[in-house]
């Protein structure tokens, strides 16, 4: 107990910079050959952001093209490539690595009180694999791009497409191993690297969420890897098992693809749920309501997530019986997500809620994820989804879950842990403005698409009937607001690096282990091995937080 | 990291900076290897699924393709791999005992068996090349047309003419070749063609040699992808063994520190087990149709 | 001709024009009800909490609440029960949508990049259009010549993928005469968004008239354009600029074009006609022989109109006459050879 409060060090850092992970070595080599999870996380942050920017530019072109009913801004051939590349970059190079590879990498060892992940070299390897996969993909995009849709459906991808399917396929295949290795590292670290006293049920829910995510990464990613490899081999050999002309089966591809890609949806949302659990508990200053239920619902989602892939194929000609079974299981998997939502709301009950930027994002998440989850029920209901599938209803639904869920959670997490990662505070005012803009812009962009979908507007269309233009104009207008909202953090976060106020070690006075070391942390994370004697989310004095001292500090700075 | 790594006192040989003690380290690498193997199972699982789906649909084509594989070579390879698993297990045993000489000897033996396996694989692949059974056009030996042989006219199927000027070769571009349709006839007589086969091998009620050939080609596609990936795993395994050999040579491993030997062994056994599944599926299922 | 109805400035709801559309809509409204029923209390609770329990003192330590088994059970069971009602509702509707009726009239559909080829039991063929009578069950038997497509009619609330190498089925009973959108809903490549058309639902009498062959008051060129752009779907390959897959038609009439194999041919009425009926015979250099034959799908009358329209693309407006004399003044020569050179790893 005593040594803990010593670690937590509430004092404002002196002007003389302490030795931390950022200034411990300045050479390029010290970054490129580092085994420090925090440096790897920062390099991921840069790379993933670059891909996010590229994907965002493609999104802008999509929305501009859809401003008018005719295909006028882009030729259809270009439009097909633009939406495909938007999907591929966003799914494989942004959504999947965003929270696990950046925030997970940075925080997981800190949260469990370890010096590093269990396999630091593997961690660095995963970054290099990500880079190699990314470079191959970018090379293919520069050479001419790919137009199969991010789903690579056969036989279009294997036989008919004239684009760089093979190169992009190999890029995605290689990139898959990056997430496999990350997942592997997390599982091992959570099992063996916990500090003394950090029992399984004292783990922050962020760690539980990453454990569930890692299970999916390890068990799902290899299947899609082999599937995409088969597509590449088929294109090369001009023969194969997905080619109906010789007795192959294009539907088999869909089964193999969605067996991974549906669980991959949970790779994209579970870590976000973990972040939201941390932020809501933190800024309500309350233990999360029903800790065990939130923790096990993550595992339940990961497990059931493997059983529902067929709900992507309700109209693909699979048997009626299979359709009904998948529809039933889809309904079952909705329940753990509902449990989480209720628990998050209940956590705020009788809390002490502050409106800091991360909390604003988290509240936005609750609203958007609610809509995303409920519209998931529309699509799980098999009779209704016959009408809705392959329309803009689907597009709107998964953007509500992926952007409204994962991206918003990612932004909440970045704002929450920014002081820890960089040692600087960002502008609270601009943070709040951007959180509001993102929320408003997002809803304006994607809510009209639900209506468009029910009207029957098919997805992946470069042109559409004129009567649907008004809703598309709303959507494009919203997208520009959303774009501005998303660009603002880039500006004020970079600004904060140079001009931001120095962050205290524990600016929010939260009890997690990551706040009990200096900001930014030293390379070895903790000066001394922490010993955990308090339960998770214990905001009281008994967890060793010196709240009086923090209040004094606030009084001085305000 | 360097500052930290250098100042950290090393309690034991091979203890890495992020761990507190050897126990933690060994537990970590062991869990990591098991998780990796789970990943590998899923990786091969996709291929096994594809195999099962198509064997279910086209059992005769798969039997025909399978019967052309030589179970002698396949069986020999199975034996070789099982023995190599034994030597691998002995490697771990002697590492635990701290017996450097026998450890090195066992590693060398394991590598030897691994190489024999790959050599046999090469012989088999060459055979496929010579018989025009590689499913990629252009990757087969061009076979001179055997005009003298009388059995050409005795073929079991209505053979489509191979066309134009290049009639010196039966497969002028190195195409995949398959002519024997006897199994389809057999199945047709005994009436156990599957629904997919009734569509997949016939044109207007007649056996269509080209359509049957395409299904056999599917078998060989799956055969090459599966055994190819397995062989790739063997090659990686040999690389690991080479590294292990060097480490064992300089005497790294003993009763206190042998985790790398153990997890390399896990990997090696896993690759063996994959073969134990591949051998019957690819070589043996369908042999009863020969008699 | 019947006109698509758009009721309001912002369309919120598609027309309901099949026998099971109301079931899908009821399910939709039920789900909206459920969604609103969850959203309002949750959002209200969030706002209530963040106002009522806002931070009053910096770094306060509110009392701990660990959770409540009763609440957890309640909010696990209620969503589960509701989700089961949604599942059952969906299953019932799905059963109606996909159980093929016995007494339906048959229509055969072949998808092809990027057109729908439709044949009626009585022999009529159409492209990108489907004429059906009101109040009769119609069963579509579908397949495709190339990639996946999806036959989707939003006004009927149904769709089904069209899969190469196998048949898939779709049925509906139209309840309201009108003109409804037909989409390809499964991404199928370059001109995916052009693979659209209309379903015409007609009164039984009108339908019989249509079966007899209908008379229109259009000029041959207008009629030809209608055939070219809509009914036969020629435009899906023969327009589009650099990426188009079919030979360029503008300004070719009266000129010589090079064929695959090196010959040259004069583009006149006879050549155009032959190319429509037997496309593979004389393919213009630089293009693949991928065009399907239209023999049996176009009447002689329609052929004349088509030829007239194609001629009008070269500035020749006379509907008859031999062009062998003066070459057309319009164009700058053929564009053959510039298409289909897109890079790729094939």
pLDDT value for C333? 33
User: For C59, which of A153, A315, A547 is closest by C-beta distance?
Assistant: A547
Q: Do C342 and A345 touch (CB under 8 A)?
A: no
Residue A456 near chain C (CB below 8 Å): yes
Task: Answer whether A455's CB lies under 8 Å from A401's CB.
Answer: no
CATH superfamily of the B41-290 domain: Cytochrome c oxidase, subunit III, four-helix bundle (1.20.120.80)
Answer yes or no: is pLDDT of B127 > 60: yes
Q: Do B221 and A240 touch (CB under 8 A)?
A: yes
Residue extents of the structural domains in chain A: 2-10+22-557
> How many helices and strands in chain C, by DSSP H and E?
7, 12
- What confidence tens digit (pLDDT) does each residue in A124-143 have? 999 999 999 999 999 999 99
- What confidence tens digit (pLDDT) does each residue in B261-275 have? 999 999 999 999 999
A-chain residues near B36 (CB < 8 A): 184
B-chain residues near A523 (CB < 8 A): 1, 3-4
CB < 8 Å from B in window 237-296 of A: 237-241, 246-249, 252, 255-256
Q: Do A375 and C80 touch (CB under 8 A)?
A: no
- What confidence tens digit (pLDDT) does each residue in A43-85 have? 999 999 999 999 999 999 999 999 999 888 888 999 999 999 9
Concatenating the DSSP letter of every residue in C11-70 gives --S----BTTHHHHHHHHHHHHHHHHHHHHHHHHHHHHHHHHTB-SSTT--PPP----HH
Residue B23, both tokens = 């126990």
Max distance between CA atoms of chain A, in angstroms, equals 77
pLDDT value for B210? 84
Query: What's the ipTM?
Result: 0.90
Q: Do A252 and B27 touch (CB under 8 A)?
A: no
Which chains touch A (3+ CB pairs under 8 A)?
A: B, C
Residue extents of the structural domains in chain B: 41-290
Chains A and C form CB pairs within 8 A to the count of: 328
Tally of domains within chain C: 3
Helices A291-304, A250-284: crossing angle, 10 deg rounding: 170
Q: Do A36 and B53 touch (CB under 8 A)?
A: no
Concatenating the DSSP letter of every residue in C295-310 gives TTTS-HHHHHHHHHHH
Pick from A254, A248, A234, A229: nearest CA to A315: A254
C109 and C205 belong to one structural domain: yes
CB < 8 Å from B in window 54-113 of A: none
Alpha helices in A356-509 (DSSP H): 357-380, 382-388, 392-401, 408-422, 428-455, 469-499
Answer yes or no: is pLDDT of B187 > 90: no
Residue B162: pLDDT band (50, 70, 90) is very low
Q: Tell me the C-alpha distance between C311 and C321, whole Å.
A: 11
Average pLDDT over residues B116-129: 93
Pick from A240, A245, A145, A225: nearest CA to A178: A225
pLDDT value for A281? 94
C-chain residues near A468 (CB < 8 A): 11
User: For A252, which of B4, B39, B50 is closest by C-beta distance?
Assistant: B50
Q: Tell me the C-alpha distance between B31 and B37, whole Å.
A: 10
User: For B50, which of A19, A114, A241 is closest by C-beta distance?
Assistant: A241
Q: Tell me the C-alpha distance between A456 and A387, whole Å.
A: 8
pLDDT value for B168? 65
pTM of the model: 0.85
Q: Tell me the C-alpha distance between C326 and C317, whole Å.
A: 14
Residue A96, both tokens = 């999947």
User: For B218, which of A118, A223, A247 is closest by C-beta distance?
Assistant: A247
pLDDT value for A496? 94
Residue C345, in any domain of the structure: no
Q: Do A380 and C65 touch (CB under 8 A)?
A: no
How many Å lie between the alpha carbon of B215 and the closest alpha carbon of chain A? 7
- Per residue in A387-413, is it b (16+ CB within 10 Å) or e — as a string? bbbbbbbbbbbbbbbbbbbbbbbbbbb
User: For B53, which of A19, A193, A252 is closest by C-beta distance?
Assistant: A252
- What confidence tens digit (pLDDT) does each residue in A391-413 have? 999 999 999 999 999 999 999 99
User: CA dist A279 to A180, A194, A356, A360, Å?
Assistant: 27, 22, 10, 10
Residue with tokens 């502050």: A354
- What confidence tens digit (pLDDT) does each residue in B239-258 have? 999 999 999 999 888 888 88
Which domain covers residue C44, as residue numbers?
21-53+67-98
Answer yes or no: is pLDDT of B96 > 70: yes
Q: Do A471 and C11 touch (CB under 8 A)?
A: yes
Q: Tell me the C-alpha distance between A154 and A246, whole Å.
A: 14
Task: Answer whether B170's CB lies under 8 Å from B145's CB.
Answer: yes
User: CA dist C154 to A315, B232, C21, C195, C244, Å?
Assistant: 14, 50, 9, 15, 29
Residue A298, both tokens = 């993550």
Sites in chain A below the pLDDT cut of 50: 1-14
Query: Residue C195: closest CA among chain A residues belongs to which residue?
Result: A461
A 10 A CB-CB count for A472 gives: 21
pLDDT value for C135? 92
| Residues found in chain A | 558
Which residues, listed in sequence order, are joined to residue A539 by a DSSP beta bridge? none
Q: Tell me the C-alpha distance between B140 and A318, whole Å.
A: 38
User: CA dist B163 to B133, B145, B167, B168, Å?
Assistant: 21, 13, 7, 11
Three-state SS string over B77-128 comes to HHHHHHHHHHHHHHHHHHHHHCCHHHHHHHHHHHHHHHHHHHHHHHHHHHHH
Q: Tell me the C-alpha distance between B29 and B4, whole Å.
A: 22
C131 and C208 belong to one structural domain: yes
Question: Torsions phi, psi of A9, nearest 5?
Answer: 30, 90
User: For B42, which of A191, A222, A240 is closest by C-beta distance?
Assistant: A222
Q: Tell me the C-alpha distance between C144 and C108, whole Å.
A: 11
Mean pLDDT by 10 residues, chain C (346 residues): 49 88 94 95 94 88 85 92 94 89 89 88 84 93 90 94 88 94 93 92 89 65 81 79 76 82 79 80 79 75 79 67 36 33 35
Residue C70 near chain A (CB below 8 Å): no
Query: Residue C341: closest CA among chain A residues belongs to which residue?
Result: A162
Residue C330, in any domain of the structure: no
Residue B75, both tokens = 């069986």
Task: Answer whether B120's CB lies under 8 Å from B84's CB.
Answer: no
C188 and C116 belong to one structural domain: yes
pLDDT value for C345? 37
How many Å lie between the alpha carbon of B148 and the closest alpha carbon of chain A? 32
Concatenating the DSSP letter of every residue in A30-68 gives HHHT---HHHHHHHHHHHHHHHHHHHHHHHHHHHHHTTS
Task: Answer whether A460's CB lies under 8 Å from A394's CB.
Answer: no
CB < 8 Å from C in window 463-502 of A: 463-465, 467-468, 470-471
How many Å lie between the alpha carbon of A97 and the closest alpha carbon of chain C? 27
Q: Is B167 helix (H, G, I), strand (E, B) or coil?
A: coil
Q: Tell me the C-alpha distance between C254 and C271, whole Å.
A: 10
Answer yes or no: is pLDDT of B207 > 90: no
Q: Do B221 and A114 touch (CB under 8 A)?
A: no
Beta strand spans in A183-341 (E) = none
CA angle centred on B239, ends B231 and B279, rounded to 5° = 25
pLDDT value for A16? 52
CATH topology of domain A2-10+22-557: Cytochrome C Oxidase; Chain A (1.20.210)
Helices A205-237, B22-57: crossing angle, 10 deg rounding: 40
pLDDT value for B26? 87
| CB-based burial label for C45 (10 Å; 0-12, 13-18, 19+) | middle
User: For A328, which of C50, C65, C87 is closest by C-beta distance?
Assistant: C87
Identify the CATH number of the domain in which residue C270 sits. 1.10.760.10
């Amino acid at each position: 107990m005593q040594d803990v409060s010593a670690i937590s060090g509430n004092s404002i850092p002196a002007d003389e910079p302490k030795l931390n992970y950022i200034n411990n070595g300045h050479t390029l080599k010290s970054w490129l050959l580092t085994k420090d999870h925090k440096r790897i996380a920062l390099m991921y942050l840069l790379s993933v952001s670059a891909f996010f920017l590229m994907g965002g530019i493609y999104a802008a072109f999509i929305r501009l093209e859809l401003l008018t009913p005719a295909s006028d801004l882009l030729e259809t051939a270009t439009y097909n490539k633009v939406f495909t590349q938007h999907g591929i970059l966003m799914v494989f190079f942004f959504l999947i690595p965003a929270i696990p590879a950046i925030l997970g990498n940075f925080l997981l060892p800190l949260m469990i009180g370890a010096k590093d992940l269990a396999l630091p070299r593997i961690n660095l390897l995963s970054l290099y694999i990500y880079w190699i996969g990314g470079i191959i993909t970018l090379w293919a995009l520069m050479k001419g791009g790919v137009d199969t849709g991010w789903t690579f459906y056969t036989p279009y991808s294997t036989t008919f497409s004239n684009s760089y399917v093979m190169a992009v396929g190999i890029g995605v295949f290689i990139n898959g191993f990056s997430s496999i290795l990350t997942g592997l590292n997390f599982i091992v670290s959570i099992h063996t690297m916990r500090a003394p006293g950090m029992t399984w049920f004292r783990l922050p829910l962020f760690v539980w969420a990453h454990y569930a995510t890692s299970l999916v990464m390890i068990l799902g990613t290899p299947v899609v890897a082999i599937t995409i490899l088969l597509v590449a081999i088929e294109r090369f050999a001009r023969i194969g098992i997905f080619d109906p002309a010789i007795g192959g089966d294009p539907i088999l591809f869909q089964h193999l693809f969605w067996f991974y890609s549906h669980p991959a949806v949970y790779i994209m949302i579970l870590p976000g749920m973990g972040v939201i659990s941390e932020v809501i508990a933190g800024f309500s200053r309350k233990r999360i309501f029903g800790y065990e239920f939130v923790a096990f619902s993550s595992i339940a989602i990961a497990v059931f997530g493997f059983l529902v892939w067929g709900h992507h194929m309700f109209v693909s000609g699979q048997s009626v019986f299979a359709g009904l079974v998948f529809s039933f299981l889809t309904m079952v998997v909705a329940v753990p997500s509902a449990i989480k939502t209720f628990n998050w709301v209940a956590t705020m009950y009788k809390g002490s809620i502050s409106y800091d930027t991360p909390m604003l994002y988290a509240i936005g998440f609750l609203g958007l994820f609610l809509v995303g989850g409920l519209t998931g029920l529309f699509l799980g209901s098999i009779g209704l989804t016959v009408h809705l599938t392959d329309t803009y209803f689907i597009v709107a639904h998964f953007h509500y879950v992926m952007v409204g869920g994962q991206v918003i959670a990612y932004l909440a997490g970045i704002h929450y842990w920014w002081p820890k990662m960089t040692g600087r505070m960002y502008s609270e005012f601009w943070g709040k403005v951007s959180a509001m803009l993102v929320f408003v812009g997002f809803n304006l962009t994607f809510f009209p698409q639900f209506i468009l979908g029910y009207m029957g507007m098919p997805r992946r269309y470069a042109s559409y009937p004129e009567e649907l233009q008004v809703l598309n104009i709303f959507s494009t207008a919203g997208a520009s607001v959303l774009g501005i909202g998303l660009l603002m953090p880039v500006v004020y976060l970079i600004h904060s690096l140079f001009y931001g106020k120095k962050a205290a070690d524990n600016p929010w006075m939260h009890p997690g282990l990551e706040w009990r070391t200096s900001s930014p942390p030293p390379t070895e994370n903790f000066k001394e091995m922490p010993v955990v004697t308090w339960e998770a989310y214990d905001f009281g004095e008994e967890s060793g937080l010196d709240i009086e001292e923090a209040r004094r500090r606030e009084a001085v700075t305000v | 990291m360097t500052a930290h790594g250098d100042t950290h006192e090393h309690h034991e040989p091979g203890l890495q900076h992020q761990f507190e003690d050897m126990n933690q380290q060994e537990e970590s690498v062991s869990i990591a290897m098991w998780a990796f193997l789970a990943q590998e199972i899923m990786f091969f699982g996709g291929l096994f699924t594809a195999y099962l789906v198509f064997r279910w649909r086209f059992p005769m084509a798969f039997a025909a393709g399978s019967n052309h594989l030589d179970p002698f070579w396949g069986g020999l390879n199975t034996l070789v791999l099982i023995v190599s698993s034994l030597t691998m297990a002995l490697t771990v045993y002697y590492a635990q005992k701290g017996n450097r000489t026998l450890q090195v000897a066992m590693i060398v033996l394991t590598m030897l068996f691994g190489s024999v396996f790959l050599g046999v694989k090469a012989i088999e692949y060459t055979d496929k090349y010579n018989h025009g059974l590689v499913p990629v056009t252009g990757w087969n030996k061009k076979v001179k047309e055997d005009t003298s042989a009388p059995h050409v006219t005795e073929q079991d199927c209505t053979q489509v003419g191979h066309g134009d000027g290049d009639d010196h070769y039966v497969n002028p571009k190195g195409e995949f070749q398959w002519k024997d349709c006897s199994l389809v006839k057999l199945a047709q007589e005994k009436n156990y063609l599957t629904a997919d086969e009734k569509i997949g091998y016939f044109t207007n009620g007649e056996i269509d040699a080209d359509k049957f050939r395409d299904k056999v080609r599917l078998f060989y596609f799956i055969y090459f992808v599966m055994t190819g990936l397995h062989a790739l795993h063997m090659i990686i395994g040999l690389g690991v063994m080479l590294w292990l050999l060097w480490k064992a040579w300089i005497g790294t491993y003993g009763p206190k520190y042998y985790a790398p030997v153990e997890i390399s062994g896990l990997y090696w056994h896993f690759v063996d087990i994959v073969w134990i599944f591949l051998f019957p599926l690819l070589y043996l299922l369908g042999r009863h149709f020969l008699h | 001709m019947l006109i698509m109805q758009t009721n309001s400035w912002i369309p919120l709801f598609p027309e309901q024009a099949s026998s099971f559309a109301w079931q899908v809509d009821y399910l939709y409204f039920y789900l909206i009800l459920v969604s609103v029923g969850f959203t309002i209390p949750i959002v209200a609770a969030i706002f209530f909490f963040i106002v009522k329990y806002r931070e009053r003192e910096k770094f306060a330590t509110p009392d701990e609440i660990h959770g409540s088994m009763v609440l957890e059970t309640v909010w696990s069971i209620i969503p589960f029960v509701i989700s089961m009602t949604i599942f059952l509702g969906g299953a019932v509707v799905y059963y109606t949508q996909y159980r093929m009726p016995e007494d339906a009239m048959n229509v055969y559909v072949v998808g092809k990049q990027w057109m729908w080829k439709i044949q009626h039991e009585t022999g009529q063929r159409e492209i990108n259009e489907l004429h059906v009578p009101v109040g009769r069950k119609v069963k579509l038997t579908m397949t495709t010549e190339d990639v996946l497509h999806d036959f989707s009619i939003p006004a009927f609330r149904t769709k089904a993928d069209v899969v190469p190498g196998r048949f898939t089925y779709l049925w509906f009973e139209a309840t309201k005469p009108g003109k409804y959108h037909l989409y390809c809903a499964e991404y199928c490549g370059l001109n995916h968004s052009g693979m659209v058309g209309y379903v015409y639902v007609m009164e039984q009498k009108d339908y019989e008239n249509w079966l007899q062959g209908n008379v229109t008051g259009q000029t041959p060129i207008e009629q030809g354009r209608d055939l070219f752009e809509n009914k036969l779907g020629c435009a899906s390959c023969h327009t589009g600029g650099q990426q188009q897959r079919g030979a360029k038609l503008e300004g070719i009439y009266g000129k010589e074009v090079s064929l695959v194999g090196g010959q040259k041919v004069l583009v006149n009425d006879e050549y155009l006609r032959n190319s429509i009926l037997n496309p593979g015979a004389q393919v213009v250099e630089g293009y693949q022989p991928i065009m399907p034959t239209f023999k049996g799908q176009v009447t002689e009358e329609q052929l004349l109109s088509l030829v007239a329209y194609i001629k009008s693309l070269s500035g020749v407006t006379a509907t008859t006459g031999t062009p062998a004399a003066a070459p057309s003044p319009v164009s700058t020569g053929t564009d053959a050879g510039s298409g289909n050179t897109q890079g790729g790893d094939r």
